[in-house]
Amino acid sequence: MTIEAAGNVVAKHRHQETQGAGPLLRVEGLVKHFPVRTGFFGRRAHVHAVDDVSFELAEGETLALVGESGCGKSTTGRLVLRLLDPTLGKVSFQGNDLLALGDRELRAARRDMQIIFQDPYSSLNPRMTVGQMLEEPLLLHGVAQSGRRERVREVLGLVGLEAEHAQRYPHQFSGGQRQRIGIARAIAVEPKLVVCDEPVSALDVSIQAQVINLLRDLQKRLGLAYLFIAHDLAVVKHISDRVAVMYLGRIVEIGTKRQVFDAPRHPYTHALLSAIPIPDPRARRERQVLGGDVPNPVDPPSGCRFRTRCPHARERCAQETPALIDDGAHAVACHFWKEITPTVRADAVLSPSKELVEARIDERLARLQAAFVT
């Protein structure tokens, strides 16, 4: 990769790194409360957006943060980049305490941490050409002009766009191409970590697959670590190494992809998995439909926050907050997961009928679909 012409601050910062020792990113006890006014008299209250979140992310690894609206996954992503300041907690990136950095040092550190947003259109400046937009972060990080042009061309190639596209404006691109531009801007400065905030949710299915493939290619080529924020568990299963499931500001389960998808422990994880419609009418399942809505984060339930919707909730769940207990690499925050896991797994099994017919039909589909793999 190029950009030897990086600024002094950046170079100095890079030399201080302690390579290979410890994770790339370590988040400990992160808490974020947003003040809000509620009720007629404007009583002051707090939204408990993120509450005691901890995780680690290694170089080149993908950790997915999954959950539904309001679970705190996007806020966590912003706290990690210090686009928001946490109420409590610690974020270390490459061994440096991000919260202790001054403005100048933070700017330098941000060269290594970038973000891709959900809506590529609202995150691109309509008055700038793609070339100008891609040069901007290089300029900020002190790359000389000659290096910048070269790098723009190179980065456009990496994300599957043409060098000529540098002269065009965002409105001249389709949604999928705009997301490629968003990705190009994020990787232009050769970051180590990219926070991907719902990067494919706004895209059509066929385009979504293109962008997922691109993100995986780039990771392999550039050794990027992704903090992949998403609500779509199928996408997450495809792209991640490890998964953290969030509910109302807390991580309720975290483990490797295999552990979380093949042997989910938390009843919420199971409910999420069981709620996803599978695009196959033969895969009819016993579905466990969760009742009710996510509670108001201004006034979350006592004890386990999931208990108001949990089919297994008992008295202890209301009284005592379950800790995220680490059992090897697979941690779960549920008092009773050992008791309920067997029932949970039994009804997650798909019906195995008509296997022979399916095998023949699926062979045809797999063969035809292989023609679409590039």
Partner 1 sequence: MSANALLEVRGLTTAFATESGPFNAVEGVDLALGAGRTLGLVGESGCGKSVTALSVMGLIASPGRVVSGEIVFEGENLRSLSAGQMRDIRGDRISMIFQEPMTSLNPAFTIGDQITEGILRHRPVGRQEAKRQAIEMLRHVRMPLPERRFDDHPHKLSGGMRQRAMIAMALALKPRLLIADEPTTALDVTIQAQILELMRMLRDETGAAIILITHDLGVVAELAQEVAVMYAGRIVERASVDALFAEPQHPYTIGLLGSIPRLDREAARLPAIEGQVPNPMTPPPGCRFAPRCPFATEKCKREEPGLREVVPGHHARCWYAPIP
Binding positions for partner 1, rule: CB under 8 A: 68-69, 174-177, 204-210, 212-213, 216, 231-235, 237-239, 261, 271-283, 287, 289-291, 293-294, 309, 350, 358, 361, 364-365, 368-374
Amino acid at 254: I
Question: Can you tell me whether residue 300 is helix, strand or coil?
Answer: coil
Smallest distance from partner 1 to CB 75, Å = 16
Query: In the block, which residue shows the tokens 């190639």?
Result: 157
258, burial (CB in 10 Å: exposed 0-12, middle 13-18, buried 19+): middle
| Nearest residue (CB) to partner 1, 293 versus 315 | 293
Q: Within a 10 A sphere around the Cβ of 261, how many other Cβ atoms?
A: 18
First to last CA, the chain: 25
Give 309's contacts (C-beta < 8 A, 6+ positions apart). 268, 271, 290, 291, 292, 294
Smallest distance from partner 1 to CB 132, Å = 24
Smallest distance from partner 1 to CB 303, Å = 20
What residue ranges in the chain does DSSP mark as E strands? 25-38, 43-57, 62-66, 88-93, 96-97, 113-116, 193-197, 225-230, 242-247, 250-256, 325-327, 330-332
| Nearest residue (CB) to partner 1, 212 versus 318 | 212
Smallest distance from partner 1 to CB 112, Å = 28
| Nearest residue (CB) to partner 1, 21 versus 370 | 370
Smallest distance from partner 1 to CB 300, Å = 15
DSSP 32: E
| Nearest residue (CB) to partner 1, 93 versus 261 | 261
| Nearest residue (CB) to partner 1, 127 versus 364 | 364
